[in-house]
Amino acid sequence: MLTLAGTIVALVSGVVGLLFVLKPDLKPSGKAPKQAATLSQASFEQSAPYSEYLAKTNVPTGPYTKHLLARRGALVGVHVAVTGYEGNHLLLIWKLFAQPSGNQIDESKATTPTRYKITPRNETTERTPFVWVPLPSRPGKFVAHVELVQQEDPYQPLATLDTSPFSGLVRRRS
């Protein structure tokens, strides 16, 4: 019985070895594909109108009201460097946190144009898109947390970035 098992193992090993000789592209490389992602802050404007964000992202202002175009938000230029996610749909999403409590008070929604989609076409892709985070209409300090996620699995960030603290809107009394 042991001899039969040894013969079968030798036969299978010989066939696999011959297959790799005849078709070398089938041979495993032994290396796992490298995947990496980083986010870094390229620019930061604490209070920019939504119209400025649309202009920087080449989105027409036509469908938006004057009130929405004038709304203030933090405008963050995010440098994205991605390796090994060729063909995957990646998204930049944001969350807004109050400081110093750390309580989340807002986040990007699936329907908002403030989500930025990246689909790398090469092994390595670098871009610097903008993210606009609406300023809260209350005083205080806030931090925008930006995440790069796969569209298919948005709960596992590939990379994250926190902005410097910034102020919310302060309503002036007349």
Whether 9 and 83 map to the same domain: the answer is: no
Q: What is the CA radius of gyration of the chain?
A: 25
What's the confidence (pLDDT) of residue 116? Answer: 82
What's the confidence (pLDDT) of residue 117? Answer: 86
Whether 65 and 3 map to the same domain: the answer is: no
pLDDT at residue 10 greater than cutoff 80: no
Whether 14 and 84 map to the same domain: the answer is: no
List the domain range (segments joined by +) for residue 69.
36-167
Domain assignment present for 96: yes
Domain assignment present for 26: yes
Whether 15 and 100 map to the same domain: the answer is: no
What's the confidence (pLDDT) of residue 141? Answer: 95
Query: In this structure, is the dihedral angle defined by the CA atoms of residues 94, 97, 99 and 101, taken in order, positive or negative?
Result: negative
Domain assignment present for 174: no
Whether 119 and 50 map to the same domain: the answer is: yes
Whether 58 and 124 map to the same domain: the answer is: yes
Whether 67 and 123 map to the same domain: the answer is: yes
Supply the pTM of this predicted model: 0.75
pLDDT at residue 157 greater than cutoff 90: yes
- The answer to whether 157 and 151 are in contact (CB under 8 A) is no
- The DSSP output letter for 55 is H
With H, G, I as helix, E, B as strand and everything else as coil, classify residue 58: coil
Highest mean pLDDT among 61-65, 78-82, 149-153: 78-82
- The answer to whether 134 and 106 are in contact (CB under 8 A) is yes
Alpha helices in 62-137 (DSSP H): 66-70
User: What is the total count of domains within the chain?
Assistant: 2
Unique residue bearing structure tokens 């390595």: 124
**73 C-beta neighbours (distance < 10 Å), count:** 24
pLDDT at residue 19 greater than cutoff 60: no
Whole-number Å distance between alpha carbons of 130 and 126: 13
Kindly indicate the confidence band of residue 172, based on its pLDDT and cuts at 50, 70 and 90: low
pLDDT at residue 121 greater than cutoff 60: yes
Whether 125 and 43 map to the same domain: the answer is: yes
pLDDT at residue 4 greater than cutoff 90: no
What's the confidence (pLDDT) of residue 111? Answer: 55
Whether 125 and 40 map to the same domain: the answer is: yes
The predicted-structure confidence for 69-112, as pLDDT tens digits, reads as follows 999 999 999 999 999 999 999 999 999 999 999 999 999 876 55
The predicted-structure confidence for 43-53, as pLDDT tens digits, reads as follows 999 999 999 99
The predicted-structure confidence for 129-145, as pLDDT tens digits, reads as follows 999 999 998 999 999 99
Q: Residues, the chain, total?
A: 174
